[in-house]
Every structure is written in C-alpha cells, then in structure tokens.
Amino acid sequence: MKTNSANQELKKMVGITAADLIKDEMTCGIGTGSTVAFFIEELGRRVQQEGLRITGVPTSFQSKLLCRQYNIPVQDTQDCSRLDIAIDGADEVDPDLNVIKGGGAAQTREKIVAAMADQFIVIVDETKLVPKLNHAFPVPIEIIPAALTFVENKLQRMGGEATLRMGVRKDGPVITDNGQFILDVQFKPDTDLKNIDRELHQTPGIVETGLFFGMVAMTLVGSAAEMKVKTLKK
Ligand code: 5RP
C-alpha cells in the first residue's frame, strides 16, 4: 500500500516542495519514510548546488544514513532542545490535521522532534487523508519488551486489537531504533482516541504512541487529479 508508483510521484512532488521551505542556517527536524526520502534528496541537492547551510536532526538511522549519503550535516536529537522546523510523513491525517505516525516504527523520536520544532509540517500523498484516525491504519505503540503481555491485556480491555509487528527478512519482532517492540492496534470505530492516548501515556511499559494530536502546523498534500501540492492549515 505504501509503494505504488502513482503514490511515489505524489510523494516526490511534496518532498521537493517541502525542501523549498528550508532557509539558510535553519535547524531542521528530518522525519522518516519514503516521502521524507524524497525531501532529503532534494535538500541534499540544495546543500550541494546552492550552498544551503543547514543542520538536520534525523528521527531514525534510516534518515541519518540518507543525510550522510547526501552530505547533509546532522546533529543528534539529544544535542538540541529547539528546532526551526521539522518535516515528516504520516500514515493518516484527519480533517483537524491530527495524524497517525509510526509506519516505520520511528514515532517516538518523530514526536520528540515534532515537539522541539517551531513549525511541524507533514507531507503526504492524498491517500493518507481520512475522515477519522485509525480508519484503515492501526495505531503503532512502542513498548518495552518486558511489558508485552501486560500491555496486550490492557489494550484488549480498552477494546483494542493488538498485533506485535514482525520483522521482514529478520526472524521475530521488529526492534525499533530504541531497542523496543511495536504493537499495531486497531480500536473500535466509535473509540475516543484522545482519551485512549491519555490513558496509554499513564501505562507503565508504553514508551510512546503514534497518535499526534494538535502538533501539526501545516500539511502538504500531493493531489493526483491536478498533479499539484495542496496546503492544509488549521
Ligand atoms: C515512520 C513514519 C512515516 O512518516 C510514515 O509511516 C509515512 O511513511 P511513508 O512516507 O513511507 O508513506 O511515521 O515512522
């Protein structure tokens, strides 16, 4: 679902548009995923060809390696407390610009970086727009392995159906960049996800959820009908 070729064109379009928002001497949070990969490539081109001077703060090893490939100077999240801007993809975006993230298991660092940024901007193709979060994409929850059974039981009592995310070309569960597991959770359609998120944050063993409420300043959407980028603001 994440990689059909029409989507790729739209992802590329928003990635390139987002790179244009980055100005000289900015510190820039850099998200994770296939849409952000196009953003990083274009940012790298601007660094090389336009002499753009920026510091990137990547949210994953994947993005750090891409920054290295495109000669973008980077800093670790623990070495800064504020960013001018952060650009990231998303798995679902609702009409209030709340989002689900974590399809790449990076939501914990992504949320830290989003919270540090003066402006958090999400870039998506139009297939990510949904009437309500958890419409088709499960909520990724990063958990400490020792809490697996406890958290699974708690989620079940909350009406959630949790699946431990498994590795591809790696036996056993996905291990995040923080050394933890991911549970992908589908809640019942009438669930109040804001309440759920509050409760999850009070549950021992849960590191972070992929629910981002009230954090997004602007969303750039690649639209297939006109092959153009639309801007959504609150
Ligand atoms: C990673 C994420 C990604 O931003 C999200 O999964 C979107 O990915 P893509 O741009 O590949 O569709 O949250 O944890």
- Measure 93 CA to ligand 1 centroid, in angstroms: 12
Sequence-ordered alpha helix ranges (H) in the chain = 5-19, 34-50, 61-69, 107-116, 148-157, 193-201
- Please state the pTM of the whole predicted model: 0.96
- Measure 44 CA to ligand 1 centroid, in angstroms: 20
What's the domain range around 29? 4-129+213-233
Per-residue pLDDT of the chain (234 residues; tens, 9 = 90+): 345 677 999 999 999 999 999 999 999 999 999 999 999 999 999 999 999 999 999 999 999 999 999 999 999 999 999 999 999 999 999 999 999 999 999 999 999 999 999 999 999 999 999 999 999 999 999 999 999 999 999 999 999 999 999 999 999 999 999 999 999 999 999 999 999 999 999 999 999 999 999 999 999 999 998 889 999 998
How does DSSP assign 41-106, residue by residue?
Answer: HHHHHHHHHH----EEEESSHHHHHHHHHTT--B--GGG-S-BSEEEE--SEE-TT--EE--TTS-
Q: Which two tokens stand for residue 69?
A: 């490939």
Same domain, 174 and 220: no
Distance CA 184, CA 210 (A): 9
Same domain, 192 and 226: no
pLDDT at 4: 65
Mutate to test the pocket of ligand 1, among 14, 36, 212 (most ligand atoms within 8 A of CB): 36
Residue 44 placed within a domain: yes
Residue 89, ligand 1, Cβ within 6 A: yes
Same domain, 30 and 121: yes
Same domain, 75 and 179: no
Residue 184 placed within a domain: yes
Residue 155 placed within a domain: yes
Residue 46, ligand 1, Cβ within 6 A: no
Same domain, 225 and 197: no
Instruction: Give the domain CATH number at 151.
Output: 3.30.70.260
Same domain, 161 and 177: yes
Same domain, 191 and 111: no
Residue 91, ligand 1, Cβ within 6 A: yes
Same domain, 45 and 157: no
Residue 201 placed within a domain: yes
Residue 103 placed within a domain: yes
Instruction: Give the domain CATH number at 68.
Output: 3.40.50.1360
Total domain count for the chain?
Answer: 2
Same domain, 113 and 193: no
Same domain, 39 and 104: yes
Same domain, 51 and 100: yes
Same domain, 147 and 79: no
Distance CA 59, CA 114 (A): 10
Atom index in ligand 1 nearest the CA of residue 36 equals 10
Residue 134 placed within a domain: no
pLDDT at 1: 36
Q: Coil, strand or helix: which one is 11?
A: helix
Residue 7, ligand 1, Cβ within 6 A: no
Residue 110 placed within a domain: yes
Q: Please confirm, yes or no, whether 50 is among the known catalytic residues.
A: no
What residues pair up with 161 in beta bridges, in sequence order? 186
